[in-house]
Structure 1
Amino acid sequence: MGDTITAAAAIAPSAALPVTSPYFLHSSDQPNASLVTPPLDGNNFLTWHRAMTMALEAKNKISFIDGSLLRLAATSPDLPHWIRCNSMVRSWIVHSTIPTIAHNILWFDSARDAWLDLHTRFSQKNAPRIFEICRAISTLSQGMDSISAYYTTLKGHRDELSSYRSLPACTCGSVTELLAISEMDYLMDFLQGLNDSYAAVRSQILLMDPLPSVPKVYSLLL
């Protein structure tokens, strides 16, 4: 522990590092900062995971959690830099979770281990959330909302649902067909929830060949 502290203290200032280096820390980077809101509470893992990934990519620190920059050898001159940045990322993760979760990951030595632990514990709760999203989509209607508000709500549900259902890599062309089916389902969901005042234009859209995309239909309705 003493050796680690001594090594970290001897690290050269981040200003001496190029900004493209994963070891570069800006003066605004603080260990007690929460990178995303709301914090991880156990029920919002997917959105939290995506937001944290974006934040860490923006700070050029994603390599500390994706396995591409593991702990360096004791003889490496960059080890002090790694220790410092690893501790910074660990602290960001801790401060981006609620206290009960933060306490459980506080004792991990590497940011990647803390990240993988959170993924193992919370990424499996997909089925209940998928059920909630599908039910929300099936019951969604425009009602008193504007076209813009209705479209935004539906798109949010669809985007979240898609994040749970990543398509496998394929070279046979089936993925293109699956995407086309998914886009048609999206269009039907959108048209189905429109108010009856749009019945005439809805009928015209359904007669189009090929069917337009949802963003195109949205712009036409606007």
Structure 2
Amino acid sequence: MTRNDDPTSFENSNSMENARASPPSILEQYQNPYFLHPLDSTSLVFISNLLTESNYNSWSQAMKIELTVKNKLGFINVEIPHPSGELLSSWIICNGVVTAWILNSLSKEISTSINFSNSVQEIWVDPQERYQCKNRPRVFQLRHEISNLIQNQDSVTAYYTKLKMLWNELISYRPSCSCGKYTCGSVKNLQTYFQTEYVMAFLMGLNDSSASIRSQLLLMEPEPSINRAFSLVLQEIDQKAFSSSPGIAMSLSKSPTTAVESINSNGHVVGICSLPGISSNQWILDSGASTHICYNKALFTSLRPIKPTTVSLPNQS
């Protein structure tokens, strides 16, 4: 039997041809930097805040995110150089599309002054060289605003939002790492440092009414993230507001039954307990606890034994 008569050889040949003829999967398409979706037109506008003379860092960061999503970041950071051969036509098309996306994100004044080039990388560098050099005065201004920002009459949410806007712009001025992808160890340490400063700035601006939760956050291990710190402060304020609402605080003059358990205006059961060292007419309420404890057996109308259980305190002890 000759090779051509071998059925196994014939089947293998057909399978290889079918494999070559099968279209690439969706994942393979999006992994290819030369792939353009039908909606990736030259009229796309990625960001609403167009580039001006004063917002280069936030603009460039937003553009990098969008280009990363489109798998086109390599066209501006020279990871995809000018090719030759069969990839040249695809590179020219993608280079033109990315160029249009960048020009669409510029203000009219800047767009007319950009030096047009055959390379999108050169167009990207043009505003970078002109406007990124103005970062030092802006960094000084941002740090000054952050250091003077206090909660005052604002809610914690409004105060946190103001701080977050200033801080996000400040960290956009941080130096780039050598790997260019912010994945190396030195950048991780830098991010941890910035996160600590972020939390410190947030805590420093809080009103004195949050001094208790501020002290707890400063002693917390591991250090809380900024979102975790904000969440805990907000919970503390909500808890204080709830405890000071009319109809919540109970005194010893009430009957034993209502002194241990009361129902608020919303129909929720509220547990009440007293702690040693606190005045007999002062009570601690925690509506978020799963089980409520009272140290004085005399306040109960009836008692029954329970299985031994572990009690967890708010400080995780």
Given candidates 25, 29, 36, the residue that maps to 1:25 is: 36
- Of 226, 233, 240, the match for 1:221: 233
What amino acid maps onto 2:31 in structure 1? T
User: Does the Cα contact within 8 Å between 2:43 and 2:104 map onto a contact in 1?
Assistant: yes
Of Structure 1 and Structure 2, the greater helix share is in 1
Alignment CA distance shift 1:107-1:202 (3 Å) = closer
Amino acid at match of 1:197: S
Distance 1:182 1:20, change over 3 A: closer
CA radius of gyration, larger in: 2
Q: Quick one: higher RCO (CA 8 Å, sep 6+), 1 or 2?
A: 1
Deviations 1:2-25 (A, max 9, x none): xxxxxxxxxxxxxxx933321111
Residue number in structure 1 paired with 2:140: 131
Output the amino acid matched with 1:59: K
Distance 1:52 1:139, change over 3 A: same
Equivalent in 176, 199, 221 of residue 187 of structure 1: 199
Shift of 1:197: 2.0
Alpha-carbon offset, residue 62 of structure 1: 1.0
1:51 aligns with 2:62: yes
Contact 1:31-1:88 at 8 Å conserved across structures: yes
For normalisation by structure 1, the TM-score amounts to 0.78
Deviation at 1:47, TM superposition (A): 0.5
AA partner of residue 221 (structure 1): V
CA distance in 2, matches of 1:40, 1:172: 32
Match for 1:144: what amino acid?
Q
Task: Tell me which amino acid in the other structure corresponds to 2:201.
Answer: D
5+ residue gaps, structure 2: 1-27, 179-183, 235-317
The one-letter code sitting in structure 1 at the alignment partner of 2:204 is Q
Residue 198 of structure 1 corresponds to which residue in structure 2?
210
Contact 2:95-2:119 within 8 A present in 1 as well: yes
- Check the 8 A contact 1:133/1:161 in 2, yes or no: yes
Q: CA RMSD in A?
A: 2.8
Distance 1:135 1:85, change over 3 A: same
Taking only the aligned residue pairs, the percentage that are identical comes to 36
Q: Does the 8 Å contact 1:137/1:189 carry over to 2? A: yes
Q: Residue 118 of structure 2 is aligned with which of 105, 109, 125? A: 109
Unaligned runs of 5+ in 1: 1-16
Indicate if the aligned counterparts of 1:94 and 1:106 stay in contact, CA closer than 8 A: no
What residue number does 1:119 align with?
A: 128
**TM-score between the two structures when normalised by the length of structure 2:** 0.56
Q: CA deviation at 1:38?
A: 0.8
58 and 42 in structure 1: CA distance in 2 versus 1, 3 angstrom threshold: same
User: Quick one: distance in 1 between partners of 2:177 and 2:99?
Assistant: 31
Number of residue pairs the alignment of both structures matches: 201
Q: In the alignment, is residue 143 of structure 1 matched against residue 152 of structure 2?
A: yes
Q: CA deviation at 1:143?
A: 2.5
Listed one character per residue, the Cα deviations across residues 171-220 of structure 1 (whole Å, up to 9, x for unaligned) are 998x84x76665444333222211232234334544x2658434333222
Cα-to-partner distance string for 1:33-72 (whole Å, 9 max, x where unaligned): 2221211112100010011011111111111111011222
1:156 alignment partner AA? M
